[in-house]
Amino acid sequence: MDLGQAIKTLRVKQGLTQTQLAELCDMSTNSICSLETGKAYPPIATVRRLCDAFGVPQSYLLMTSIEEGDIPEEKRVLYKFLETLRNELIESKEP
């Protein structure tokens, strides 16, 4: 899952529309759409605003966006552990 997909997954999980999330983050709906579709990558200040709106730490959002290709081959055993943890976080009711 990339960062845009992680943002969308968390938004949907929390029952927010793109418009509602945009309002919470003082952003445009188009900006949220661009992030979710991967057309734009958020600067750290935007990640902070998104996480504040979701009520989650930045590490939560960033962890859910890690993909296997982001990890060097010699560290992929660690990725498998993180993938299990990430899936549990995504599936849990509470972030």
pLDDT in tens, the chain (95 residues): 688 998 999 999 999 999 999 999 999 999 999 999 999 999 999 999 999 999 999 988 887 777 778 778 887 777 777 777 777 776 765 54
Which residues form the domain of 67? 3-91
Distance CA 17, CA 62 (A): 21
Instruction: Give the position of tokens 């859910």.
Output: 64
Which residue type is seen at 86?
Answer: R
* CATH number assigned to the domain comprising residue 20: 1.10.260.40
Look up the pTM and report it: 0.74
Distance CA 77, CA 82 (A): 9
Classified as helix, coil or strand, 44 is helix
Q: How many domains, in total, are found in the chain? A: 1
Q: What is the pLDDT of residue 36?
A: 96
